[in-house]
Amino acid sequence: MNAYETARVAADELRIYSGFDTYDIAIVLGSGWREGAAALGAPLSAVPTSSLSGFVTPTVAGHTGTILSLDVGGVMVALLTGRVHLYEGHTVDEVVHPVRTVIAAGASKVVLTNACGGIDPATSPGTVVVIRDHINLTATSPMEGPAPPEGLGSRFVDLTDLYSARLRAAVHDAAPELAEGVYAGFRGPHYETPAEIVMARTMGASLVGMSTVLEAIAARHLAAEVLGLSLVSNYAAGVSAGPLNHLEVLEAGQNAAASLGALLAQLVPVL
Ligand code: 8IG
């Protein structure tokens, strides 16, 4: 079975286990965002991704694999609390499978959240930035391989409007304080060298991370509208005098959790 068909099967399983027939919005929760998501209300169902076809188990501390289904004021929301990354040794198809599954389950809008490094010294850790565009430095694509079967996706996809201008405008109406940035997606799991951060800045990036870009492409390929929200958790290498570490990242998430949850709760009804 190809990856697109596996996503269809997983979507049918999700419908059965969750009791939700369809979704309006799917939200992928990155580091820091998961803790805040309780602000969206109590889930009506929680499906472990281990019970769904094609899902692999996240290995990163703070990422557990569950799909929560919520009714947020009449908006049907799928919350994906686990994310898998290329750097865990997973394939590109495995990395984007959760996104393909929730789109196959009906979600036409996908919100990708993450924690990232900030290249601009004026953007301090704890700041949320709306992704305006990305630079995919993973040297791969979720669309690589045989063309999708008829009706399940096209051979090529236009990424001119990858991060939906409509959704970004809706965010700016609701939360005008949020700035926009360009996210450079690296494979990791090492953080960058200072020279690589100079490269990323020169190329036009203001954010660096290890997720999001492949999921965004896969979602757009399946005609979903994509919104990307980044929590800047640390200054990228060489931007500040201090060293980088993963604990600092987790701490930034914990400190920001409540406001991230409030932001999601504010955005869901207006997207
Ligand atoms: I949080 O500085 C977080 N994720 N590549 N670089 C990359 N990913 C990150 C960083 C960072 N901080």
pLDDT in tens, 171-215: 999 999 999 999 999 999 999 999 999 999 999 999 999 999 999
Ligand 1 center to 125 CA (angstroms): 11
pLDDT in tens, 46-93: 999 999 999 998 776 655 699 999 999 999 999 999 899 999 999 999
Nearest to 69 by CA among 29, 7, 10, 14: 14
SS3 label, residue 123: coil
Ligand 1 center to 247 CA (angstroms): 12
SS3 label, residue 5: helix
Mean pLDDT of all residues in 252-270: 88
Testing ligand 1's pocket by substitution, the residue of 88, 207, 208, 249 carrying the most ligand atoms inside 8 A of its CB is 208
Q: Against a cut of 0.85, is the pTM above it? A: yes
CATH class of 3-270: alpha beta
Beta bridge partners of 134: 183
Q: Is the pLDDT of residue 236 over 70?
A: yes
CA–CA separation, 188 vs 126, rounded Å? 21
Ligand 1 center to 198 CA (angstroms): 14
Tokens encoding 183: 């996210």
Ligand 1 center to 135 CA (angstroms): 14
CA–CA separation, 158 vs 64, rounded Å? 32
Tokens encoding 115: 């924690």
Residue ranges around ligand 1 (CB below 6 Å) = 31, 115-117, 186, 188, 191-192, 208-210, 233-234, 236, 244, 249
Mean pLDDT of all residues in 232-248: 85
Q: Which atom of ligand 1 has the smallest separation from the CA of 246?
A: 1
The pLDDT of residue 31: 85
Q: Which atom of ligand 1 has the smallest separation from the CA of 249?
A: 1
Ligand 1 center to 191 CA (angstroms): 6
